[in-house]
A and B are shown apart, each in its own frame.
Chain A
Amino acid sequence: MACEDGRAMEVRLTLNGKPVRVEVDPRERLLDTLRYRLGLTGSKEGCGEGECGACTVLMDGVPANSCLVLTAQCRGRSVRTIESVDAKALGPMLASGATQCGACTPGVVMTALWVKENPGLRDSHTLRELMAGNLCRCTGYDGIIDGLHAWVESDARSGGAA
């Protein structure tokens, strides 16, 4: 199978739990497809070089920078974006001051969500290590780390229910 310049190619993937089919330019990054084709503008572009993590989505359940993925590479994969996250779950992050300007925030929340949903990670890694791929220039990270800590704890208290 091959796809050529200009000619749109079809990509089927699971997006936020639903099967979707998109016609994309083969040169298109997942971030661009999400933002400009599907209107899912929660994922942000802070650098386009994989450093800032503002474009973080979960690919097959693990954080990835959507600025470093071609949509063409997402065939058959499962992608989860910030748009799938329930605001009601985010109380602890709100209360701790995890967001200020908000530009890094959707990416931060996606990584945090992954940490929350995979309790085993905390046995091998510190929260700060796990969040190191999300640059934030506003909070100094305490608001994020404290919020994530509280989020994880709140979960533990309620018996692990998501």
Chain B
Amino acid sequence: MKVHAPATVNEACEMLARAAAEGRTLRPLAGGTDLLVHWPSKSAAHEGEYLDLSGVSELRPLVWRDDALVLGALTTYWDVVREARVAAELPLLNAAARQVGAVQIQSRGTWAGNIANASPAADGVPVLMAYDAGVALRSSGGERVVPLSAFYTGYRASVRRPDELITAIEVPIRSRDVAVFHKVGPRRAQAITKIGVAITRLAGSGADRWRIVANSVAPTVVRCREVERLLDSGARITSAGGFMPALQADISPIDDIRSTAAYRRTVMGRLLYHSLLGACSSVV
């Protein structure tokens, strides 16, 4: 095993570029709360090469710009929990962060790691997506910012190239009049999500204001565009069942070790209905 310890983002990107050119896999290592689980028995992973980001101080800060909150790639959940302004202005980030694992995980796990790990159960992703976050990807060739809603291409797959590092997550600050986050897990802490949903609506009028983002109900975290359209249409919805046709198009839950497809579908409908009752005039 090799552990590379760059001191700067440039250095890190060069290391990634070299590895990519030579056909080697070099994995960024942030909090390690995904990579190091069951580490002693992961013999194959011990052969790998790792890019330890912990010394790259540029990746650390959580910065407020006028129009956005920027989470450096090493920003942890706990960093967000501690930042009072997040709870006030982007409450879903606080809500999600507080429900990740428990404090030992919140203190080490990073938002960038959560995104890069590409688990359909990731709890950081739905709230970021519901806030229209963008992912800053840097390589030795330059930087691009990809909307999080366009980041995933399939199960555990994303647009990130092996030579790219997530350097930051940009969360635009916009006025929203609905913001809800639900995590349904098997217990109240240390729980992998069985069904999750983040809901926001941009303040103002017009279409495309809803963001309905669900986790653990499809191969990736998904934006439920049919549900968003349904809400935009103003069609009356009088029960959880009213969401089902749209949800069927948006989500594709499965039976697995943690829950069942039927349960996930039903609960998703109910969460939507009860969350939007009162928040959306067409849901009654």
Q: Do chains A and B touch in the complex (CB under 8 A)?
A: yes
A binding-site residues for B, Cβ under 8 Å: 1-5, 9, 26-27, 29, 48-51, 53, 56, 59, 62-65, 67-70, 72-73, 75-77, 111, 114, 124, 129-130, 132-135
Q: Nearest residue in B to A62 (C-beta to C-beta)?
A: B107
Known: A53-B102, A70-B32. A26 touches B107 (CB 8 A): no
Looking at the complex, which one of A3, A64, A70, A77 makes contact with B104 (CB distance below 8 Å)?
Answer: A64
Chain B residues with CB under 8 Å of A1's CB are 4-5
Task: State whether the Cβ of B16 lies closer than 8 Å to any Cβ in chain A.
Answer: no
Contact A2 B102 (CB under 8 A): no
State A56–B107 Cα separation when bound (angstroms): 12
Chain A residues with CB under 8 Å of B81's CB are 124
Looking at the complex, which one of B46, B47, B108 makes contact with A65 (CB distance below 8 Å)?
Answer: B108
Task: State whether the Cβ of B33 lies closer than 8 Å to any Cβ in chain A.
Answer: yes
Contact B101 A133 (CB under 8 A): yes
Task: State whether the Cβ of B44 lies closer than 8 Å to any Cβ in chain A.
Answer: no
Contact B3 A72 (CB under 8 A): yes
Chain B 38-59 near chain A by CB (<8 Å), digits 1 or 0: 1111000011000010110000
Known: A1-B5, A2-B5. A68 touches B37 (CB 8 A): yes
Known: A63-B107, A68-B108, A72-B52. A132 touches B102 (CB 8 A): yes
Chain A residues with CB under 8 Å of B40's CB are 29, 48
9 closest Cβ pairs, A-B complex: A133-B102, A132-B189, A62-B107, A133-B104, A132-B102, A68-B36, A26-B3, A65-B104, A1-B5
B binding-site residues for A, Cβ under 8 Å: 1-5, 29, 31-33, 36-41, 46-47, 52, 54-55, 78, 81, 98, 101-105, 107-108, 188-190
Contact A26 B190 (CB under 8 A): no
Known: A49-B38, A133-B102, A133-B189. A64 touches B108 (CB 8 A): yes
Contact B54 A73 (CB under 8 A): yes
Contact B1 A26 (CB under 8 A): yes
Chain A residues with CB under 8 Å of B29's CB are 70, 73
- A80 CB, min distance to chain B CBs, angstroms: 13
Contact B5 A50 (CB under 8 A): no
Chain A residues with CB under 8 Å of B54's CB are 73, 75, 77
State A109–B4 Cα separation when bound (angstroms): 34
Chain B residues with CB under 8 Å of A129's CB are 98, 189
State A134–B1 Cα separation when bound (angstroms): 31
Contact A27 B78 (CB under 8 A): no
Chain B residues with CB under 8 Å of A72's CB are 3, 5, 52
Looking at the complex, which one of A4, A67, A75, A124 makes contact with B39 (CB distance below 8 Å)?
Answer: A67
Not counting A72-B5, A72-B52, a sample of 18 additional A-B residue pairs whose C-beta atoms are within 8 angstroms of each other reads: A3-B5, A5-B1, A26-B1, A26-B3, A48-B38, A49-B38, A53-B102, A64-B104, A67-B36, A111-B103, A114-B103, A124-B81, A129-B98, A132-B103, A132-B189, A133-B102, A133-B103, A133-B190
Q: Which of A72, A73, A133 has the most CB of B within 10 A?
A: A73
5 interchain pairs, CB-CB under 8 A = A48-B37, A50-B105, A68-B32, A68-B36, A69-B32
Contact A70 B108 (CB under 8 A): no
